[in-house]
Each structure stands twice: as C-alpha cells, then as structure tokens.
Amino acid sequence: MAKEFVKEITSMDEDFAQWYTDVVTKADLIDYSSVRGCMIIRPYGYALWENIKTELDNRIKATGHENVYMPLFIPESLLQKEKDHIEGFAPEVAWVTHGGSEELTEKLVVRPTSEVLFCDHYKNIIHSYRDLPKLYNQWANVVRWEKTTRPFLRTLEFLWQEGHTAHATDEDAHEETTRMLNVYTDLCENVLAIPVVKGQKTEKEKFAGAKFTYTIESLMHDGKALQSGTSHHLGSGFAQAFGIQYTDQAGTLQYVHQTSWGLTTRIIGALIMVHGDDRGLVIPPKAAPTQVMIVPIAQHKEGVLDFAFDLKEKLSKVARVNIDASDKKPGWKFNEYEMKGVPVRLEVGPKDIENNQVVLARRDTGDKVIVALDELEAKLIELLNDIQINLYNKALKLREEKTSVAATMDEFKENLVGNPGFIKSMWCGERECEDKIKEETGATSRCIPFEQEKVSDTCVCCGKEAKQLVYWAKAY
C-alpha cells in the first residue's frame, strides 16, 4: 500500500542517514536550495517551527524577557573586541567585502551569533543599577560556514532565538543561566516529548568567551547525541571588553555580568530522529501543525463531505484539525498523513454516519478505535494526551537502553560498537584524556551531568583518580 501511493522511505536500520534525508524531503518539510548547505523550509516544516517558536516564545516572555532585533551585519572591529570569542568563530564566519562594486573600508561579518552587537548596545543604555537586569531575546537567522551540512542539523544559515541578558551580580547571571536551561528542558520534554540530560560542558566544549556553558543533550534513534539547547554564563569578560559598566547603590562603578542562550531549528532534526519510524515522521501532538486529519470515506456519496466539514468545525474547538477533501484515494491519504506524522487520523464514511460514530487511528501505535459521536471531543483530548505521554516514555526507554557504563577504555570501545549511545564514564578532568578519547573512539564529551554518580574510582582513559562523571557519545 505504502509503495503504491507514496514514494518509499529507506529503512532506518538499512541506512539511517538516507532515511533522514527521505523523511525531510518526502514529508514536505524542506526543499534544497541553489546555495550549497542552505535549505528552503516548506510550509509544513515552517508550521512545525512556528509551533515550537510560539511555545518557546511564550515561556521566554513569561520569565520577564522582551524581544528585540539586532542588525544582520557586524563590523570586523566590533567582532575583534573579545579575543576568545572571535577565535572560536573565525573558521566559520562569512565576510562581506564589497557593497555594490566598491570594496568596503571595513569588512562586515554576517552574524554567526550576536553577543558583540548586544554588548555594543548595552554599553549605551546601561548606566545605573536601576537599569538592570536587561532581559532581551531576539528571533533571527544566523550564518555559519559549515563544511559538512545536513537539513536542520547543520546548515550554513539557520533560524533560532538568542537571549542576551545583563545582570548586576555573578549570582544573578548564574541564576539566569540555570533558569533558561530549565525553560529549554520544559520545551523539549513537555512539548517535543524528547527526554534530555542536563549538565555542564567541559572547558573544551564550552561556548567561546563564556565562563561556563550549560547544555541539554538528547539521544537519537541511531545512538548519536544531539546538543539540543545551550545556556552560557558569560561572566564579565564581554563587559570589560566593551566597557559595560553601571553605578551601584554605593556609587561605585561595576561591570555587568552577562548570559546568552539559544535554541535553533536543529531541534526539528532532533524531533525527527527521536520519534520517526520507517513510515516517516511521528510528531508529538503539542508540536504538530495538524493534530487531527479528517479523511472522508466514499466522499462522493451524498452528505459525507458536509458531515466531515461539520466535524472539523466542531473539533477545532479542542484541537488543530484539518480535512483532506481532495479526490485522491483514501489509501493514498492514509499513507500521506502517516508519513507527515499527523498524530490522529479520523475516518468517517456513510456507515459511520449511519451509526453515529467515527474511526480514530493513532500514528504512534497504529491502533484504531471506534468512537461514538457524543464522546468524540472528550475521547480526542484523552487520545492526544496519551500519544504525547507515550512518545516521551518510548524515547526515554530507548535512551535508557542505549545508555551504558564503562570503567576502562576497552569497555568504552566495546559499548560504543555493541550498543551505540550515551556512555557514562568517570574522568580525571584533564584535556589530554578528553582529546585522547575522541581521537581513539570518535566520541566526545556531551556534558558533565548535574546529577552525578560514581560508577568507578578512576578515569576511564588514564586510570588516575576520577573527578567527575561525564556522558560521552558520538554526536551530530
């Protein structure tokens, strides 16, 4: 049936990378553009991003932040002000050297991130402790000249939000860093049904110019990790470089303490790879552009379409509902909306109308249930909630199955091959061991989890006394 109506999707187990490419294109999320490494986000893909954006924007505003917009271009002299920052981004910045036919007197960077733009602005508007905190966020596009690209996961241009805040004290900035990581956790777990591990990045993996970086890490179906959101405590380094000072209550000049945090369209890639299956997308109801797709059966018969449209109007009060009244065959429609990951399909035909019932089909399990019309609204709400919970629990179960413990490098390598996923191992804290693990296995440190365990006494790499538990994995 699937092959007859919809182009075949490569099996996940056969070729996961090809499966991913098939899903993002055949489920109508993206199209490839004429620029290498850039994608056209199709209406269905953009509707998914808009839902994520709305959910996150509401949470950002609820924590007291305001949205602003910063320029697309950064003068080279501005970017050079924070040494560690420019060194971290130098390999992937895109430069503008000409305006029309004339060479610019100063090169411009197409923003890879906007710390320096916010700093340049903050130095002009922050003067007193009464001006703090400044809690700003912007929704924007950024450009990073990546060598290897893949839709959503790594593209030259991507969409995101980036929060940039200024605080009177280090403690206030630390609190903000934690608060926003928790906002990302809430979005991932309660909207996208993606379980995450919260922790701190190592010095090697932290954001360029930051005091420290907090992260949420999720695990994909193929056992690779994906950094799903980061929150950076910038300390006062940027403030000192840009001269962002305020007069405190005692009349003394102080430097502000800053944070930045961001979540990008790559979270759509995470959603695809955590929940998808061999039939295509599986979208959690809270994120789905369409939560219920009505498919009329024998719609050429009198009264069927009218009944279906009346159902759409009625159910739109409790869910995001759409209807496919095209002349395509029902079987084609079934497969189309399964591939697009619509959580619930509602089938209704002449016999259903006669019996005052409809058929509801779940995308996550494939189960079908017959529901009486007078129970439909309540049953639909219950069903969507159950699907949301089931997808989270299923993803959590897979993550637990793909999380192992290794006390030695031999165990580490065996686990990485035998059961790819998160590996929990102790670490001495030395960069040399972190580099060696990556060199020998291809796995990187994903985070030092906030919830620490002691799985052995010694470092997995060098055998010396261990300081911390680290989650390791190969990653996107």
pLDDT in tens, 350-374: 999 999 999 999 999 999 999 999 9
Q: Read off the pLDDT of residues 413-454 as tens digits, 9 standing for 90 and up.
A: 999 999 999 999 999 999 999 999 999 999 999 999 999 999
CB 23 within 8 A of CB 271: no
Q: Are strands 197-200 and 94-99 parallel, antiparallel or unpaired?
A: unpaired
Q: Which two tokens stand for residue 25?
A: 């294109």
- Residues 92-132: pLDDT tens digits? 999 999 999 999 999 999 999 999 999 999 999 999 999 99
Rounded Cα distance, 345 and 355, in Å: 19
* Amino acid type, 139: W
Indicate left, alpha or beta for 70 from its phi (over 0: left) and psi (-120 to 50: alpha).
beta
What band does 27 get if pLDDT is binned at 50, 70 and 90? very high
Report the pLDDT value the prediction gives residue 198, as an integer from 0 to 100. 98
**CA dist., res. 425 & res. 455, Å (int):** 7
- Chain segment 39-96, per-residue pLDDT in tens: 999 999 999 999 999 999 999 999 999 999 999 999 999 988 877 777 878 889 999 9
- pLDDT over 90 (residue 409): yes
Cα 114 from Cα 137, distance rounded (Å): 11
Q: What residue type is assigned to position 435 of the chain?
A: D
Integer Cα distance of 427 and 466 in angstroms: 5
pLDDT digits (tens, 9 = 90+) for 197-246: 999 999 999 998 999 999 999 999 999 999 999 999 999 999 999 999 99
> Positive or negative CA dihedral for 238, 262, 20, 30?
negative
Residue 295: half-sphere exposure toward Cβ, Cα within 13 Å: 19
Distance CA(427)–CA(430), nearest Å, equals 8
Per-residue pLDDT, 1: 41
Spell out the residues 6+ positions from residue 34 whose beta carbon is closer than 8 angstroms to its own: none
pLDDT at 338: 97
Averaged pLDDT of the chain = 96
- List CB contacts of 402: < 8 A, sequence separation 6 or more: 219, 223, 419, 420, 421, 422
Span between the terminal Cα atoms of the chain, in Å: 34
For residue 304, what are the contacts with CB-CB under 8 A and spacing of at least 6?
A: 296, 297, 298, 348, 349, 350, 353
> Which residue in 411, 408, 429 sits closest to 419, CA to CA?
411
Residue range 266-289, pLDDT digits in tens: 999 999 999 999 999 999 999 999
Domains for the chain: give ranges and CATH numbers: 2-275 (3.30.930.10), 292-386 (3.40.50.800), 403-473 (3.30.110.30)
Signed CA dihedral, 67, 71, 73, 79: sign only: negative
Give yes or no for residue 261 having a pLDDT over 60: yes
